[in-house]
């Protein structure tokens, strides 16, 4: 009995001791956050103020959220907050528009710079074009009198003709009458050659007027001479091609009646042709007369045709915002056909050496253009620039960058994004630090003592 009683008393004693120990441990755990914060902050401040140590201003959220802390902490995912050191911020108040990035981050971003230099900006202007016949080599055959087509020698459009080759014969009562009039006048001059005075003069004037009338009707000198020699009028007159070329239009039909001035044939000399290129409005200021041009035709991909700009048209097409530019080309073998499409490349150059930077160095927002200028190791300053002429790889800087200054040509958009993030965090940092200080004071009124 006494043994059982002793065992019960021992169990009760152990229970009481365990409860007391648990109470004491719970009390220490409840007090530890408040008491531990001050030593952690003090240790951090002490470590930051030691010689040779970088001073920590605050800790920012590792995910870029607008949340800072005066002491080290972890976010909801267990990631450590990132320290922000004083030497990373000391230049920002003095130079608000300067971007500063650590050397390690510059290497990770792949930043590359290149010096702005004075260079001549040669470039190639590309335009679409079309082949057209030389307007100065187009000839129209239109009789100047009324008549009828008696016979056709060239009866097919597209046929090649030589210079002086017969095209067609016509009959005209007016032409026959004019020939007889000239024949009679020529005979009268011969008969009155021994007579003097007014009769001979009048007959000579009549012969000259009849001859001039025939010439005005495009009667050839050979036909006129034959008429004067024989004294007999020919019933028909043969029209010949004035140039070697291609018949591009034929309206004449055998037996048809035509009126004075009616076009019956059109002959084009295609030994030389035009390329009419449509150059866009923004490029037309670079094109000059005499500029060399390279032309490629889809029908002949293995051939390159070369010519020169001979004329820049003075008008602009409002629907396409282009200006026509004329290039003259020799056409041996008649390979170039009118209405063919062509790709035209015009070699143009700017006014002379000018300060220029690579096109990749310019950050264009649409309303302004920015260039990042390197001002030291890890230091970059954005400059607003005014741009001018462009080449295929470079652009002129009229104002904003000087010759020899280093500009960022690679990863400039990443630097710009980094600077925007730092600016956003800097804007939140003071307010977040003040809120964190208030929260710490409320949680532990003894902090700082």
244-279: per-residue pLDDT in tens? 999 999 999 999 999 999 999 999 999 999 999 999
Highest mean pLDDT among 103-117, 203-217, 242-256: 242-256
Place of tokens 């087509």: 149
- Which is more confident, 75 or 351? 75
Q: Which residue has the higher pLDDT, 35 or 17?
A: 17
CA atoms within 13 A on the CB side of 185: 19
pLDDT score recorded for residue 353: 82
pTM: 0.57
Task: Report the pLDDT value the prediction gives residue 57, as an integer from 0 to 100.
Answer: 80
What pLDDT band is residue 123 in, cutting at 50, 70 and 90? confident
Model pLDDT for residues 365-410, shown as the tens digit of each residue: 778 888 888 887 778 888 888 888 777 788 888 888 888 888 888 8
pLDDT at 76: 81
Rounded to whole angstroms, how far apart are CA atoms 171 and 406? Answer: 85
Higher pLDDT, 102 or 181: 181
**233 pLDDT more than 70:** yes
Cβ neighbours, 10 Å, residue 246: 18
d(CA 116, CA 403): 5
Listed as own residue / partner, the contacts of 441-449 with beta carbons closer than 8 Å and 24 or more positions apart are 443/33, 443/34, 443/37, 444/34, 444/35, 444/37, 444/38, 446/34, 446/38, 447/34, 447/37, 447/38, 447/41, 448/38
Per the listing, tokens 């190791």 go with 377
């Amino acid at each position: 009995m006494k043994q059982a009683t002793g065992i019960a008393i021992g169990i009760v004693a152990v229970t009481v001791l365990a409860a007391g120990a648990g109470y004491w441990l719970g009390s220490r755990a409840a007090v530890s956050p408040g008491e531990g914060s001050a030593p952690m902050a003090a240790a951090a401040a002490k470590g930051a103020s030691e010689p040779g140590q970088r001073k920590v201003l605050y800790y920012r959220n590792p995910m870029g959220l607008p949340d800072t802390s005066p002491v080290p902490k972890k976010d909801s995912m267990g990631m450590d907050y990132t320290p922000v050191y004083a030497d990373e911020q000391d230049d920002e108040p003095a130079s608000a528009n300067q971007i500063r990035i650590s050397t390690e981050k510059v290497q990770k971003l792949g930043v590359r710079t290149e010096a702005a230099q004075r260079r001549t900006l040669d470039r190639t202007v590309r335009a679409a074009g079309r082949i057209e016949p030389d307007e100065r080599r187009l000839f129209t055959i239109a009789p100047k009198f009324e008549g009828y087509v008696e016979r056709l020698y060239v009866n097919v459009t597209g046929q090649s003709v030589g210079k002086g080759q017969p095209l067609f014969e016509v009959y005209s009562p007016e032409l026959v009458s004019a020939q007889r009039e000239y024949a009679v006048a020529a005979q009268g001059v011969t008969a009155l050659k021994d007579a003097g005075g007014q009769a001979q003069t009048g007959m000579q004037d009549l012969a000259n007027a009849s001859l001039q009338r025939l010439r005005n009707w495009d009667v050839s000198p050979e036909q006129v001479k034959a008429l004067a020699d024989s004294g007999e009028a020919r019933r028909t007159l043969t029209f010949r091609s004035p140039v070697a070329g291609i018949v591009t239009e034929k309206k004449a039909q055998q037996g048809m009646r035509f009126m004075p001035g009616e076009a019956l044939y059109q002959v084009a000399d295609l030994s030389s042709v035009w390329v009419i290129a449509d150059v866009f409005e923004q490029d037309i200021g670079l094109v000059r007369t005499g500029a060399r041009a390279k032309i490629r035709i889809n029908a002949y991909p293995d051939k390159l045709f070369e010519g020169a700009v001979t004329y820049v048209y003075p008008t602009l097409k409002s629907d396409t915002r282009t200006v026509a530019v004329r290039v003259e080309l020799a056409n041996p073998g008649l390979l170039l056909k009118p209405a063919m499409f062509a790709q035209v490349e015009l070699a143009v150059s700017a006014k002379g050496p000018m300060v220029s930077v690579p096109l990749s160095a310019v950050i264009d927002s649409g309303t302004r253009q920015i260039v990042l200028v390197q001002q030291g190791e890890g230091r970059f300053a954005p400059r607003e620039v005014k741009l001018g002429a462009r080449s295929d790889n470079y652009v002129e800087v009229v104002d904003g960058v000087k010759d020899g200054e280093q500009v960022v040509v690679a990863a400039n958009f990443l630097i710009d994004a980094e600077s925007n993030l730092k600016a956003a965090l800097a804007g939140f940092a003071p307010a977040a630090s003040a809120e964190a200080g208030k929260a710490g004071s409320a949680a532990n009124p003894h902090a700082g003592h």
